[in-house]
Amino acid sequence: MNKIIDFLKVHHDRFEQELIDILKIPSISSDPEHAEDMHITAGLLKDEMQRIGMENARVMDTGGHPVVYSEWLHASGKPTLLIYGHYDVQPIDPLDLWSSPPFEPVIKGGKIFARGSADDKGQIYIHLKAIEAWLAVRDDLPVNVKLVFEGEEEVGSKHLENFIQKHSEMLTADYVVISDTPMFREGYPGISYGLRGLAYLQINLRGTATDLHSGSFGGLVKNPINALVEILAQMKDVDGRILIPGFYDDVLPITEVEHDKLNNLPFDASAFAKSIGAPALFGEAGYDDLERLWARPTFDVNGIWGGFQGEGAKTVIPAEAHAKVSMRLVADQDPDDISKKFIAYVDSLTPVSMQADIEALHGGFGYITDLNNPGLQAGVRALQKAFDREVDFLREGGSIPIVKVFADIVKAPVLLMGFGLPDQNAHAPNENFSLYNYHKGIESIVYFFEEIGKLKG
Amino acid sequence: MNKIIDFLKVHHDRFEQELIDILKIPSISSDPEHAEDMHITAGLLKDEMQRIGMENARVMDTGGHPVVYSEWLHASGKPTLLIYGHYDVQPIDPLDLWSSPPFEPVIKGGKIFARGSADDKGQIYIHLKAIEAWLAVRDDLPVNVKLVFEGEEEVGSKHLENFIQKHSEMLTADYVVISDTPMFREGYPGISYGLRGLAYLQINLRGTATDLHSGSFGGLVKNPINALVEILAQMKDVDGRILIPGFYDDVLPITEVEHDKLNNLPFDASAFAKSIGAPALFGEAGYDDLERLWARPTFDVNGIWGGFQGEGAKTVIPAEAHAKVSMRLVADQDPDDISKKFIAYVDSLTPVSMQADIEALHGGFGYITDLNNPGLQAGVRALQKAFDREVDFLREGGSIPIVKVFADIVKAPVLLMGFGLPDQNAHAPNENFSLYNYHKGIESIVYFFEEIGKLKG
């Protein structure tokens, strides 16, 4: 192993330069004007995969922006890793808030500032450089590796599920590895073992055929906004507990081990509240802050509208009122089941004077990896060795729908080993990636291959 | 009296033609392009007042569109009537829904179709023609009369309160008479003895400095839309009773006499619900439909907005949420007092995690005339004689803020004797006015002068 680690040291500067080179290409997947840049980036990745010794490297059609694939499958009897990442980046607006041009990478204070640095080019380069080091020094890998880098993550991975379905044979693996998340705090490696899911719906309430004058009709008719707020107010009790019947049926409880691990993470509620400009935090009674954020489901009204929204006073009883609502789910809640329960509950709360039309708009399963999973444990050992620090056990409050797709189709546990930082500005101006984390990340993956190689395939 | 009634018959057709003539002038007060038409209409009214024998007729400056004033004050020892009306009309959009051009009056099925026919030119002409008949036949009136026709009713009577204040000496009267409301049903004269008031406010709730991602923050923070719906849902109980502490303190109860009179009016709830496309009506428990509409206060959310309102699903926890709310008030509720009570109640319901900013936007007192008021009783007798039908005792669900201004400054009871019909389309295409009501209205006012003349000044 020392020789591989030495290799990393020798090539330290080149690894940075190579990352800078790919960060210069504006691979904005949402902007048709950058279609050519998407192809240039995909081609550069394919060439790089070939150069470092990956095999069958190719740019594969998906119907949208292509997937870049390659493999190295000579570790017979050893586990196979499917490493997923994405080479597309977020748009750059508002450009005037950037301190330096988003596609002219600048190193400042140990960080590289550029669009895509943390999300996700820096993180896919960690894997490429770890593979390069192993193959350059040993001409061998202790695991089988398949790389799948897509170009549509920032636009909802529209074609990826089909691609995975279609190529499910090619993509068989024992573990899926994704490096696209931040660590919890600087200097401390983290591994994410859970994600929340989502059920997103829209309620449309209609009271009358047309808007009515509140003087001529007020008192005689039910106002759909009044009805809507009364319905939505019955979604949670004063303790923040969700009142939809059966909502918690499939929620996996937080184990004592998890509770202790989450509790070990430093979280300053009042500093956090201050950072977002909130007078105070609020969450479900009986749970700690990080449990509320990562391990408990939520109910939020994401949008509401109806009636008069202009300047001044218009005395209207509107014909309609609308709300968009979503529930963050946790394993093992099923978004379809939750949507059905929500619809039934809203129907039961809708007064006879009102017509309700409820549509499910979007959904995804939550995900959790067993803390005792051997792949996860291998990741923990590798991270600890590279960073020389205890590993933070994290969950994500958000959803990465593709994780559940991988888990279901590839039928392998998903390991989320991310090397970003909380202030990485992933979807904002001045996106940045810590170079310390970049190099420690490469070292971590070098050790991770070794650790995974000790497991059976 | 027979001679006066005969005069009406003889001049029946001319009275219609004169109404047609003034209806041809597009006196749209809200449209600066019709400023000249406003002056033409005011001048025509002044000339007509002079022609029929009114004195001191003049077009008076208000700072906005002028008031046309005249008087006849020779009935010494008799009461003085201040007759208020307006010569401005609503805009005509959408023009393509009119069956005939809005300023080319057409008579069809006993109705005259034109913008301003019911609201309010037809109704001010009723008074002019009644005065003309009295003065033509008797060269005398049994009452003192002051006419005040304004040109800004459809744009909120912006300058009228100042005008009344400034000319309060000139405007002293024993009764204020307004003909600008509809009857309850065809063929039955009605007198309105009450109006509702209004308190209109806006709630602005702020949870955080900026919008947050519901995955990265959901569960930890209070969502301002969730908070807003919870606050608004606590404004009424399941019986439709308003929960703002002290809200009902000054509400005048419905007397048994009133209850019986309102109960006598035919109201078909299911036909009414069908006509507005409502699955069912809803109102405060313990009250009849017309009581709910006319004699009980309300709470309505007139507008609500916050978060994502576009197509699809955006998982945002918005920084802010807003609502416009209004309460229709009844005598003797004070809009300022009600606004204060509302603000205090919202403050008490606002969670510590939220900042609330509440602004009062608009307000007005309700109004009620004693059913035993001698002027009102005189009106009832006159209407009954002209229409040969029992008089409907009505209240208005809406507000006419100027009524309270008259009541307060002129310090005289306000009598609302309107001759429109429920399907008059006052602010809509195909506005129309029943010619039967026009002529019966003139007859009613002829008798009304006689009845008022029997009272002491």
Instruction: Pick A306's closest partner by Cβ from B278, B303, B353.
Output: B303
CB burial of residue A105 (10 Å; 0-12, 13-18, 19+): buried
Identify the closest residue of chain B to A422 by CA–CA distance: B216
B253-263: pLDDT as tens digits: 999 999 999 99
For residue A59, the one-letter residue type is V
Q: Which residue has the tokens 């606590």?
A: B234
Which element (helix H / strand E) includes A379?
helix A374-387
Rounded Cα gap, residues A375 and A372, in angstroms? 9
Bond preceding residue B61 cis, omega within 30 of 0:
no
Residue A8: name the closest of A432, A445, A383, A419 by CA: A445
Task: Classify residue A393 as left (phi > 0), alpha (psi -120 to 50) or beta.
Answer: beta
Q: Cβ distance B75 to B131 under 8 Å?
A: no
- CB contacts < 8 A, A to B, total 277
Asked whether A320 and A207 are in contact (CB, 8 A), the reply is: yes
Q: Which of B221, B280, B303 lies nearest to residue A276, judging by beta carbons?
A: B221
Distance between CA atoms of B457 and A32, rounded to whole angstroms?
A: 83
Average pLDDT of every residue of chain A = 96
The CA-based angle A151-A140-A55, given to 5 degrees, is: 40
> In angstroms, what separates the C-alpha of A113 from chain B's closest C-alpha?
23
Among candidate residues B193, B174, B202, B449, the one with its CA nearest the CA of residue B301: B202
The percent of residues above 70 in pLDDT, for chain A, comes to 100
How far is A222 from chain B, CA to nearest CA, in Å? 5
The residue that leads in pLDDT, B426 or B71, is B71
Task: Supply the pLDDT for residue A287.
Answer: 97
Q: Using the predicted structure, report yes or no on whether residue A399 has a pLDDT greater than 90.
A: no
For range A152-168, the mean pLDDT: 94
Q: Per-residue b/e over A341-369, b at no fewer than 16 CB within 10 Å?
A: bbbebbeebbbebbbbebebbbbbbbbbb
CA–CA dist A91, A435 (Å, integer): 23
Mutate which: A300, A316, A324, A403, vs B, most B CBs within 10 A:
A300
Smallest CA-to-CA distance from B372 within B249, B251, B191 is with: B191
Residue B329 amino acid letter: L
Q: Band of the pLDDT at A192, cuts 50, 70, 90?
A: very high
Q: What is the percent of chain B with per-residue pLDDT over 90, rounded to a whole number? A: 92
Q: Which residues of B touch A283 (CB under 8 A)?
A: 219-221
Question: Of B125, B108, B152, which is closest to residue B432 (Cα–Cα)?
Answer: B108
Q: Flag if A313 and B299 touch (Cβ within 8 Å).
A: no
Report, as an integer, the average pLDDT of B22-30.
Answer: 97
pLDDT confidence of A431, banded at 50, 70, 90? very high
Any B CB within 8 A of A251 CB: no
Taking the Cβ of residue B397 and every Cβ of chain A, the question of whether any pair is shorter than 8 Å is answered with: yes
CB contact under 8 A, B210 and A306: no
**Could you tell me whether strands B432-434 and A80-86 are parallel, antiparallel, or unpaired per DSSP bridges?**
unpaired
Per-residue pLDDT reduced to its tens digit, A288-299: 999 999 999 999
| Residue B164 backbone zone (phi > 0: left; psi -120 to 50: alpha; other: beta) | alpha
- Supply the mean pLDDT for chain B: 96
**What does the pLDDT average to over A87-104?**
95
% of chain B with per-residue pLDDT over 70: 100
Alpha carbon of B242 to those of A272, A306, B95, B259, B266: distances in Å?
Answer: 38, 21, 41, 21, 27
A138's enclosing H/E stretch is: helix A122-138
pLDDT at A400: 81
DSSP 8-state symbol, B110: T
| Contact call for B209 and A298, based on CB within 8 A | no
Tokens of B187: 């063929």
Cα torsion through A425, A431, A437, A439, rounded to 10:
160
Pairing of strands A80-86, A144-150: parallel
Residue of B85, B62, B237, B219 lying closest to B154 (CA atoms): B85
User: Can you read off the two tokens belonging to residue A189?
Assistant: 């490696």
Residue B43's SS3 state is: helix
* Dist CA A309 CA B154 (whole Å): 22
pLDDT at B166 over 80: yes
Single-letter residue type at B355: Q
- Does B315 contact A at CB distance below 8 Å? yes
B108-B114-B115 Cα angle (round to 5): 155
Averaged over B60-67, what is the pLDDT?
A: 97
Residue B33: predicted pLDDT = 96
- Element containing residue B301 per DSSP (H, E): strand B300-307
Using one digit for the tens of pLDDT, what is the confidence trace for B110-144?
Answer: 999 999 999 999 999 999 999 999 999 999 999 99
The shortest C-alpha distance from B102 to chain A (Å) reads: 23
Rounded Cα distance between A44 and A36, Å, is 12
Mean pLDDT, residues A190-199 taken together:
95
Nearest CA in chain B to A398: B215
Residue A108 phi, psi dihedral angles, 5° rounding: -150, 125
The DSSP symbol for B123 reads H
Q: What is the mean pLDDT of residues B208-218?
A: 92
Specify the higher pLDDT residue, B216 or A105: A105
Identify whether the C-beta of residue B428 lies closer than 8 Å to the C-beta of residue B116.
no
pLDDT band of B291, cuts 50, 70, 90: very high
CA–CA gap between residue A57 and residue A49 (Å, rounded): 6
CB-facing half-sphere around the CA of B172: CA atoms within 13 A: 5
CB hemisphere CA count around A411 (13 angstroms) = 4
Residue A265 buriedness (CB in 10 A; 0-12 / 13-18 / 19+): middle
Q: What is the CA radius of gyration of chain A?
A: 25
Cβ atoms of B276 and A221 within 8 Å: the answer is yes
Are A320 and A206 within 8 A, CB to CB? yes
Grade residue B402 by pLDDT with cuts at 50, 70 and 90.
confident
A59 vs A149: CA distance, rounded Å:
10
Cβ atoms of B394 and B156 within 8 Å: the answer is no
Alpha helices in B24-121 (DSSP H): 35-52
Residue B174 pLDDT: 97
Residue of B nearest to A242 (CA): B219
> Is the separation of the CB atoms in B121 and B98 below 8 Å?
no
Task: Supply the DSSP string of A5-24, one letter for each residue.
Answer: HHHHHHTHHHHHHHHHHHHT
Give the domain ranges of chain B.
2-195+366-453, 197-253+281-363
Work out the pLDDT band at A405, boundaries 50, 70, 90. Answer: confident
How do residues A133-153 score in pLDDT, each as one tens digit? 999 999 999 999 999 999 999
The reply to whether A2-195+366-453 and A197-251+297-364 are identical in fold is no
For residue B422, give how far its alpha carbon lies from the nearest alpha carbon of chain A (Å). 11
Among residues A406, A396, A333, A395, the alpha carbon closest in space to that of A364 is found at: A333
Nearest chain A Cα distance for residue B191, angstroms: 16
Q: Which of B279, B293, B307 sits opposite A352 (nearest CB)?
A: B279
Other CB atoms within a 10 A radius of the CB of residue A416 amount to 25
CATH class of the structural domain B197-253+281-363: alpha beta
- Residue A171 has a pLDDT of 97
Which amino acid belongs to residue A122?
Answer: G
First-to-last alpha carbon distance for chain A, in angstroms, is 21
Q: What angle do CA B13, B16, B21 make, to 5 degrees?
A: 125
Confidence bin at A156 (pLDDT 50/70/90): confident
pLDDT (tens digit per residue) in A29-84: 999 999 999 999 999 999 999 999 999 999 999 999 999 999 999 999 999 999 99
Distance CA B301, CA B298 (A): 10
Beta pairing partners, B322: B204, B305
pLDDT (average), residues B268-283: 95
Residue reference for tokens 């954020």: A293
CA neighbours within 13 Å on the CB side: how many for A240?
23
**Mean pLDDT value of segment B231-237:** 98
Q: Identify the pLDDT of residue A402.
A: 84
From the list B117, B10, B133, the residue with the least C-alpha distance to B435 is: B117
CA distance A331 to A147: 27
Average pLDDT (B202-223) is 95
Contact B12, B89 (CB under 8 A): no
At the second CATH level, the architecture of A197-251+297-364 is 2-Layer Sandwich (3.30)
Q: Is the pLDDT of residue A106 over 80?
A: yes
Q: Is the dihedral of CA A188, A191, A194, A199 positive or negative?
A: positive
∠ CA A428-A432-A434, rounded to 5°: 150
| Helix H or strand E encompassing A256 | helix A256-264
Question: Hey, is A326 helix, strand or coil?
Answer: strand
Q: Which CATH number fits domain B2-195+366-453: 1.10.10.10, 3.40.190.10, 3.40.1130.10, 3.40.630.10?
A: 3.40.630.10
| Predicted confidence (pLDDT) per residue in B323-378, tens digit | 999 999 999 999 999 999 999 999 999 999 999 999 999 898 999 999 999 999 99
Please report residues of B whose CB lies closer than 8 A to that of A262: none
Measured distance CA(B41)–CA(B62) in Å, rounded: 16
Residues of chain B found within 8 Å of residue A282, distances taken between Cβ atoms: 220-222, 351, 353
